[in-house]
A and B are shown apart, each in its own frame.
Chain A
Amino acid sequence: MRDSDRKVRIHLSAFDRLKFLITLSIVYLTLAWALMADNPLFGFGDSIKEVGNTRPWLFVLAGIEIIRQIHFLIAEFVAPYHSGWQKYFSFTDRLIHKISDWNRYRLSRAIKVLIWIALLSVVLGAVYHEPPVQALFLAPKALWSALPLLGQLLFAVVFIVIQFVAMFWFLSRGGIDVYFPDDIKTRFSDVWGQDHVLARIRENLMFLEKPEEIEKYGGYVPGGILLWGPPGTGKTLMAESMAGESGKPFVFVDPGAFNAMFFGIGVMKVKGLFRKLRKLSLRYGGVVAFFDEADSLGNRGLAPSGGQGRFTPDVFGSSCHGGNYLSQDAANLITREKFVMGGAGGGGGGGGMGTLQALLTELSGLKKPRGFFNRIVRRTLGMRPKQPPKYRILTVMATNMPEALDEALLRPGRIDRMYRVGYPSKPGRVRTYQGYLDKVSHSLTAEEIDKLATITPYATGATIKDTINEGLINAIRNGRTSITWLDIIKAKQLKELGPPEDVEYIERERHAVAIHEACHGVMAHVMRRHMMIDLATIEKGSDYLGMVASIPPDDQFTRWRTEYEADILVSVASLSGERLFFAGDNSSGVSGDLESATTIASFMEGHWGMGSTVSSHASNKRFELGSPGGKGKPGESAEKELRNALSDRIEDNLATLLQRSEEILQSNRNKVLALAHALEVHRTLAGDDVAAVIDCVKGPIIDGTPYADTRVIAALEEYHTAAVVAHKNHSTPNLPLTDISSLITTI
């Protein structure tokens, strides 16, 4: 409602009604107090009366105020009175409103100050027994004489404050290093296998170096980059190369910089850091600030709500389209559902205590004028503060726990771009191997290096460097200075498997483990095309008896039903093989295999649409719908049709595949025996040798050709029979492990 539309005057608050009366009362009491202080004979009552008698103007003022308030009161309740008053006396308002708002404010302020000074001078006059105007000048004199005391008090305050200031100052040092162009020699060319991210970073740096390229078209320099990805993938190296390449100062912020013993130090550090950044930015036209391990900044304990669906690729796993074809809302819904548990855990963190909030406001707070001179002095002189210049600060954060970062930190404006620094691509790995191998003496061919890059799909710069170094140690241990292919393979196996435990199996158990692994190996070799065997071993490690490790031959991002079926076949091959070779017996060593087989089968049936139903079990479970029944096959018995609960269907699928794996192994019995024999003899076989043994060809280390000989197979079968007998009787086999070389010489 507008003021002119009101029927009555707006109601005054109690304070506004009484403030002048209260002020007059206070003046009155002060005058009485002055009188009492002057004359020891005065009592309170008499001094009040005396003031009343000697200063009638107080009553005049009080009377005017009371009349004014009565006028207001009537205007508040009686509409005709109010409108009449408005009608006849509003010209004063109009007059006053002719003055501009700003001047009116200044004028009223000046009048108020004058009134206060007048009242003060009256009171001081009473105290000093001087005319009010003179008393006004006596007051500063009294202040002057009180200065020594004030000085003492001030000293005490400063003495206490300065200790804290000094302490906090010392505590807020450190954790921040500034490098200038050319201080660091790392270049972008030193970062291998992350070209796509590098290209983006290069672009960001370009914008920082030449901001007018984007600013002249009305854009702005992107202010923040987040590099996230698994550890060791070169995020810090990338930052280092940025520092090396950038023509602007580069500020490294230690992850622990904001951890502080006292509340507020972290905040001070953040403010100090950004003060420094702004200064550098103005002086050099831009600055790069790098926060390593940004997850140490923590978050405020909120569950990330998915925002722009930032980590959706992870949520949707390696499925071909991820959530990209979904609407933003649907993708966020799924993301939130998935992240609600994980995200909340990262609360608090190292930052804490307002540090994160300080960082958030510094990153994109008010664009406010800064500086003592700019704000205080200019304003005192009646000038408007100068607007802040464009601070070009590029913030780069690196983390391997992006979900631990605060949602607000990652919004555009703070962190504009998020780049996943994943495992290096194969060319990157080749380049990295090449790079590190160039530093040592080696005899690896280009094909071997390519092969090495292929069989180490998740290798990062750090692990590659480590593998090569381990290879060099192997070479030196053997009295060589040059690394061979074998050194690298051994180093790789050592890194992947850890050192063997040097446990000697008893013969029948060794044979059983070998058969177990051979079944895996043969099944993998025969059935699985999307993975290649990396190595097979029966050397006992810390948490396994033996293993067949596989790796994808190419960087592949989609998975298919047939591939998963092959995976399950490889997994259950151990069970079907043990049953096949040990007359229906099987060991507990298959537990892990069955677990992975069941997991894959469950996902196929319930999640990936690779079973007999379409709906996703994950959604069904969330909405408590229950899972749909399988279609069953027409003409099957009633009992079969009833067996259509999800778990039953999984079991059925697994049983079918188990049956199939047994058939495959049955038809490849000779190959299993051959591989088991090779494992028993050599303990560990590289992938190529496994293939060589199965295919009965010559491998890099092991010659598989003898296994084509039927007599060799017969001898192996004989040994196996002896081992099975020993297995049954818990005794030692009555035959030694078949010696192929002796067999071959006799052939």
Chain B
Amino acid sequence: MKARALSLTMASVLLLSGCAQSSQRYASNKDVGAYFTVPTEWTKINQKVLHKAEITGATAAGREKANLVLWQEAYSKVPNILPKEIFGLIPTEHPIAFTRVRQLTIEESNGVSLNSLRDLIIPVTKLYAGESSVVTDFVLLDDEEIIEKGARGVRTTFSFTPPGALNETVKQTALISADRSTLYFFIVRCSTKCFKANSDEINKISDSFTVRGLQ
């Protein structure tokens, strides 16, 4: 009788829970071993769209690099976000998340350091040392080293004002695989105002980024 009740309960729980929505949206690529989550209501911009935008009008070298991308995906809190908003540095009104996993060329692989990982979108190290004046109001908000299973790197949070735009805050995670062949890049950003307003959400998304390495 007990077993009967138990199996009935189990079946019905499974049936009911199956109808519910997941608590968050899971982005993952098992082949490259990279995972993160975003809130369920976020919108996804898929790899094909991003790739197309990237190679359109790109140089030969740029195309070559674009072809080295293993996985890239972007999510935005609001729909209708354009690829160029993803790739550009112009701050958005709502947070966006973007990940890219790319194979490195031998030269790149040889030159990788924690600093070079910090400098992926803007020269953070130089700005921090006061050796660059690309932007005037650079502030390093946080910097920590990350060690994952199969990769290591840094998570850096900083704010700056791109020319002709609002001040924006970027939380970027950059890791290099243990065999130094692959770069894992994950960025969550929006205008500083928006960042502050959504800091919990953004931190959660950024912390969820998990790398297990190439399978």
The interface of chain A, by Cβ under 8 A from chain B, is 14, 18, 21-22, 24-25, 28-29, 38-43, 45-46, 48-53, 58-59, 62, 129
Residue interface bits B46-70, CB-to-A below 8 A is 1, else 0: 0000000000000000000000000
Q: A28 near B35 (CB under 8 angstroms)?
A: no
Q: B7 near A53 (CB under 8 angstroms)?
A: no
Q: Which 8 A-B pairs have the closest CB atoms?
A: A52-B18, A14-B4, A21-B11, A46-B22, A49-B22, A41-B35, A39-B28, A48-B17
Residues of B within 8 A of A48 (CB): 14, 17-18
Residue interface bits B1-22, CB-to-A below 8 A is 1, else 0: 1011001101100110111111
CA distance A29 to B7 in the complex (A): 13
Q: B11 near A41 (CB under 8 angstroms)?
A: no
The reply to whether the CB of B109 lies closer than 8 angstroms to some CB of chain A is no
The reply to whether the CB of B77 lies closer than 8 angstroms to some CB of chain A is no
Q: A40 near B30 (CB under 8 angstroms)?
A: no
Task: Identify which of B4, B11, B21 contacts A25 (C-beta below 8 A).
Answer: B11
Task: Identify which of A18, A41, A42 contacts B36 (C-beta below 8 A).
Answer: A41
Q: A129 near B30 (CB under 8 angstroms)?
A: yes
Q: B15 near A49 (CB under 8 angstroms)?
A: no
The reply to whether the CB of B198 lies closer than 8 angstroms to some CB of chain A is no
10 contacts between A and B (CB under 8 A): A14-B1, A28-B14, A38-B30, A40-B212, A41-B210, A46-B24, A48-B18, A49-B21, A52-B18, A59-B15
CA distance A41 to B212 in the complex (A): 11
The reply to whether the CB of B37 lies closer than 8 angstroms to some CB of chain A is yes
In the complex, residue of chain B having the shortest beta-carbon distance to the beta carbon of A44? B17
Dominant SS among interface residues on chain B: mixed
Residues of B within 8 A of A41 (CB): 26, 28, 35-37, 208, 210
CA distance A59 to B10 in the complex (A): 14
In the complex, residue of chain B having the shortest beta-carbon distance to the beta carbon of A58? B18
CA distance A40 to B30 in the complex (A): 10
Q: B210 near A40 (CB under 8 angstroms)?
A: yes
The interface of chain B, by Cβ under 8 A from chain A, is 1, 3-4, 7-8, 10-11, 14-15, 17-24, 26, 28, 30, 35-37, 208, 210, 212
Task: Identify which of A25, A43, A53, A129 contacts B14 (C-beta below 8 A).
Answer: A25
In the complex, residue of chain B having the shortest beta-carbon distance to the beta carbon of A63? B15
In the complex, residue of chain A having the shortest beta-carbon distance to the beta carbon of B24? A46
Residues of B within 8 A of A38 (CB): 28, 30
Residues of A within 8 A of B3 (CB): 14
Residues of B within 8 A of A40 (CB): 35, 210, 212
Residues of A within 8 A of B19 (CB): 52
Q: B30 near A24 (CB under 8 angstroms)?
A: no
Residues of A within 8 A of B7 (CB): 18, 21-22, 25
Known contacts A18-B8, A41-B37, A28 near B18 by CB under 8 Å = yes
Known contacts A46-B23, A53-B22, A39 near B35 by CB under 8 Å = yes
Which of A14, A41, A45, A51 has the largest number of chain B CB atoms within 10 A? A41
Q: A29 near B14 (CB under 8 angstroms)?
A: yes
Residues of A within 8 A of B21 (CB): 49, 53
Task: Identify which of A14, A22, A29, A49 contacts B20 (C-beta below 8 A).
Answer: A49
CA distance A253 to B14 in the complex (A): 67
Residues of A within 8 A of B28 (CB): 38-39, 41
CA distance A129 to B29 in the complex (A): 11
Q: How far is the CB of B19 from chain A (nearest CB, A)?
A: 6
Residues of A within 8 A of B26 (CB): 39, 41-42, 46, 50
CA distance A271 to B18 in the complex (A): 59
Residues of B within 8 A of A52 (CB): 14, 17-20
Task: Identify which of B1, B11, B208, B212 contacts A22 (C-beta below 8 A).
Answer: B11
Residues of B within 8 A of A18 (CB): 4, 7-8, 11
CA distance A42 to B15 in the complex (A): 19
Residues of A within 8 A of B35 (CB): 39-41
Residues of A within 8 A of B30 (CB): 38-39, 129
